[in-house]
Structure 1
């Protein structure tokens, strides 16, 4: 009964706190007109309230995990062991492609192994929404999967909404077409949240996808099916979040360099902070795959093949952000960051390059800045929910939800509330703060610096618990709003055998730095740990 109460009231508590926190914006504005004693007083009171709130949030998170864990820990299911005959699936895509070219491996054998493995694990994780196994075997080259919001000709293309449950794509999304042209073939499409807009890959068409490391926890969203299967656009952490929750590498390139045509019904002409990114067990796959989907006339601008000496880069780090909407950083993830800082301190060529702390007041408002820039996206969530045949309304869908009559999940309805009910973010304030943060980071990082940043305040959460912590994705989302490239670095598992990690961020068009640092730290500090036994 407790978990039901938390599930029902949690979203409204969270969004009520959002209303309250919106009222804090005028305080700095008013303080500049106060005398010095008042400023000191305001500062002391503000700090006391903030610390009290953070302590409350820490205990609230413990309570939430206790309640949800009580229900989901008993539902944890193991992933079947990887059999020796499927051992080739542990190798990188780059290595497998080379073996096929050198006739050391038959492409048909690789595709067959991939299909057999999907069939073994999907009953546990529920990642696949549609498959084309027979066609893939006929084409038999290097197999790949795509999240279902990317159009794959002939495959279901529902975006997780009931009104599109029988819709199939008539042509490939541009990113899928480019991968096919490079010799890859789609094997299946995978589960997403409704219109890609939530931290869990769950919908009323295909149900819930589970984390392979712990089936009682979420693999994230929107590429949750991809990461769970293993294995993808990113507009608010959609690639990096599932990679983090499932213990994989991911790279989200600079916005504006990949075509979004055919992804979530986009035409490809829209201006967006979204990018096409990749998730992989091997960091060495990320740059070669990214090169395939970069717009042809812009590929040279990114200089993805530039040599990088990680010992001569300049390093900066943020241990925790002071955004009161998100949970405090857990001990496991603080420890992961500290291990990375220690390793880089040992490895850098001089003390000048050793990691140094950095902070900017923009990180106090990560969610709100992302929320503001989401209003500049050209697609309309409320219209997409109806398959562009109308506009979903919060005031209609909320009562229907209470009566069990809505076709939309609770996160989708809360998104409608956010769009249609909550007050908008102040334009001048948001644009000024975004510019200040962007300019400061570009000046700080240049073309030889990177920023280590928490991936999330918590490890992969139990199913449904993100509904009471809806803003925690902001650690990823802020860099979408800034249009910076970022990579997700897996750093092994915690004591509960759940993945931990951090992200590394670089200035625009410096993806090569992100990938090089991710490779270095991943190899040194635990990297990818399989969620199952690998039989020899």
Structure 2
């Protein structure tokens, strides 16, 4: 199914806008201080090398106190945050008080360890929270200068559920401006660095979460994902993350809120260093909707059907997938075949070439009442009038804009959208949805690249703004997906792959993640490289 002449013109216009932004960036971008050669200190405290599940068990058994664990993570954050700028506001004093209360509760508990495990499965375990989630008493700006000073008065539901399970928040982490870019940079908190290479990005919009988890400054965290905002940071920082089937984990009390049909594509989910924490976290975060998923079902990996999709078919808007990522995905397929005795079938979907156009089209579809979603330029201007991206670009060139060039770019790209929804894109998406759903069923899993390249250098996403399409298309298909680390590559940067299953089959990808962690080693200490 070919694009119409008008749609081809839109692709040309998108590329033209990108080229203009590249020229502007190269001439006007301020120079960053060189960070080459600087690296994180290695992890020395063994408490930082345990999963949340293991820490909770040790705390319940009084083998270690919650105060010791929380203090260990506070020390690590204070050690690495000057390098990565991931935690933008801490609550260390309150966290230590809460940890002391946990230790007192355990001393006084008469029901035994099993009672505590059932009622408070994460009792005493530290937690980091993406700043776009409401965490009571903490900043709630999502990097927008006009929201500076706004403090959350409630907890977002997933955060409240994790706290109710005993987790102790240590602070909030950086995001891209308004969560709509895959580099975490804004004019309130600055720019966040990748712990494996400080001159590289940690991804976005959950980039602060990905960075502090990858740096071993946190063990579990929460992220949100409407175009890859959990998976890209997890990929770039060498950790695990899960984009849940939409509608399972509440997305309330996040900023910006979803509008139009965006709630169909937005997911909240767990981010962590150890695969065994994904399932218990998801059980907690799902709350009353946990029964929508089969999380207690034991998965026999040998009975699953496996597929691999090596690339998007050659979109003119995306970078070709690098050889090392093609190779590592092939190695995953080979290991699955060798370890499980299964056949991993390579498949291709021509519609994937239009992943960005599908994502972009569906992001602006109106809701059932015909109300369109809020425009990005409107969000940029809140609480006042909508921003004018061209004017903001001129202001940025003389250092007077409150917005990042990335946010201005999103506003400019928004201006290229067609006024009428292109029917051919709708047809492509519907065809792709039908084919993928039929392929996966209730027992199928496919591998797909997380991104065309390993973590790019700072600001380089401006040169290739559509590469997020490798994650964004999975949102539009409404599928659960687990991001799995696969060691580090030639440049010492994390490798990884997306593992995707059918709707509501989240337990399948979580089981595959456990297997891949055993096979490829999971998270690696960036300070040990």
- Give the deviation of 1:295 after TM superposition: 4.5
> In structure 1, what is the equivalent of residue 175 of structure 2?
192
Uncovered stretches (5+) of structure 1, i.e. residues with no partner: 1-17, 27-52, 54-63
- Give the deviation of 1:366 after TM superposition: 0.8
Paired residue secondary structure (1:251): strand
Instruction: Give the Cα separation in 1 of the matches to 2:376 and 2:97.
Output: 38
Paired residue secondary structure (2:251): coil
Maintained 8 Å contact 1:72/1:463: no
Per-residue Cα deviation, 1:70-96 (whole angstroms, up to 9, x for no partner) = 98886242111222xx21111111111
The one of 486, 493, 501 equivalent to 2:488 is 493
- Give the deviation of 1:25 after TM superposition: 8.9
> In structure 2, what is the equivalent of residue 316 of structure 1?
307
> In structure 2, what is the equivalent of residue 50 of structure 1?
none
Per-residue Cα deviation, 1:461-496 (whole angstroms, up to 9, x for no partner) = 000111001011110110011110001111101121
Paired residue secondary structure (2:526): coil
Task: Summarize the Cα distance change of 1:25–1:384 in structure 2 as closer, same or farther, 3 Å threshold.
Answer: closer
Instruction: Give the Cα separation in 2 of the matches to 1:475 and 1:411.
Output: 19
Maintained 8 Å contact 2:264/2:478: no
The one of 327, 330, 333 equivalent to 2:322 is 330
Q: Is residue 2:323 matched to residue 1:357?
A: no
Deviates more, 1:303-312 or 1:423-432: 423-432
Maintained 8 Å contact 2:481/2:506: yes
Instruction: Give the Cα separation in 2 of the matches to 1:444 and 1:191.
Output: 38
> In structure 2, what is the equivalent of residue 287 of structure 1?
279
Per-residue Cα deviation, 1:325-375 (whole angstroms, up to 9, x for no partner) = 1100111101111111111121233xxx40011111221111111111111
Instruction: Give the Cα separation in 1 of the matches to 2:417 and 2:249.
Output: 32
> In structure 2, what is the equivalent of residue 273 of structure 1?
265
Maintained 8 Å contact 1:72/1:217: no
Paired residue secondary structure (2:229): coil
Per-residue Cα deviation, 1:110-146 (whole angstroms, up to 9, x for no partner) = 1111111100000000111111100000001221010
- Give the deviation of 1:400 after TM superposition: 1.9
Instruction: Give the Cα separation in 1 of the matches to 2:249 and 2:395.
Output: 39
Maintained 8 Å contact 2:274/2:522: no
Normalising by structure 1, we get a TM-score of 0.83
- Give the deviation of 1:403 after TM superposition: 2.9
> In structure 2, what is the equivalent of residue 23 of structure 1?
8
- Give the deviation of 1:398 after TM superposition: 2.3
Maintained 8 Å contact 2:305/2:445: yes
Q: Is residue 2:250 matched to residue 1:262?
A: no
Task: Summarize the Cα distance change of 1:25–1:82 in structure 2 as closer, same or farther, 3 Å threshold.
Answer: closer
Task: Summarize the Cα distance change of 1:73–1:308 in structure 2 as closer, same or farther, 3 Å threshold.
Answer: farther
Per-residue Cα deviation, 1:212-259 (whole angstroms, up to 9, x for no partner) = 000010000011111110151111100010000011111111011111
- Give the deviation of 1:442 after TM superposition: 1.3
Task: Summarize the Cα distance change of 1:471–1:132 in structure 2 as closer, same or farther, 3 Å threshold.
Answer: same
- Give the deviation of 1:21 after TM superposition: 9.6
Task: Summarize the Cα distance change of 1:106–1:508 in structure 2 as closer, same or farther, 3 Å threshold.
Answer: same
Instruction: Give the Cα separation in 2 of the matches to 1:327 and 1:516.
Output: 30
- Give the deviation of 1:158 after TM superposition: 1.3
Paired residue secondary structure (2:392): helix
Task: Summarize the Cα distance change of 1:169–1:395 in structure 2 as closer, same or farther, 3 Å threshold.
Answer: same
Instruction: Give the Cα separation in 1 of the matches to 2:208 and 2:153.
Output: 22
Maintained 8 Å contact 1:258/1:275: yes
Q: Is residue 2:85 matched to residue 1:115?
A: no
Instruction: Give the Cα separation in 1 of the matches to 2:450 and 2:338.
Output: 23
Deviates more, 1:454-463 or 1:513-522: 513-522
> In structure 1, what is the equivalent of residue 293 of structure 2?
302
- Give the deviation of 1:533 after TM superposition: 3.1
The one of 94, 102, 108 equivalent to 2:61 is 102
Maintained 8 Å contact 2:35/2:198: no
> In structure 2, what is the equivalent of residue 419 of structure 1?
414
The one of 462, 472, 475 equivalent to 1:467 is 462
Instruction: Give the Cα separation in 2 of the matches to 1:454 and 1:165.
Output: 37
User: Pairwise CA RMSD of aligned residues?
Assistant: 2.6
Paired residue secondary structure (1:524): helix
Instruction: Give the Cα separation in 2 of the matches to 1:300 and 1:74.
Output: 48
Maintained 8 Å contact 1:198/1:222: yes
Maintained 8 Å contact 1:261/1:268: no
Q: How does 1:105-504 map to 2 (within 5 A)?
A: 105-140=64-99, 141-230=124-213, 231=218, 232-266=223-257, 271-296=263-288, 298-322=289-313, 323-349=315-341, 353-376=342-365, 378-423=373-418, 426-504=421-499
Normalising by structure 2, we get a TM-score of 0.84
Task: Summarize the Cα distance change of 1:273–1:267 in structure 2 as closer, same or farther, 3 Å threshold.
Answer: closer
> In structure 1, what is the equivalent of residue 115 of structure 2?
none
Task: Summarize the Cα distance change of 1:176–1:368 in structure 2 as closer, same or farther, 3 Å threshold.
Answer: same
- Give the deviation of 1:309 after TM superposition: 1.4
Task: Summarize the Cα distance change of 1:123–1:515 in structure 2 as closer, same or farther, 3 Å threshold.
Answer: same
Maintained 8 Å contact 1:314/1:354: yes
Task: Summarize the Cα distance change of 1:184–1:71 in structure 2 as closer, same or farther, 3 Å threshold.
Answer: closer
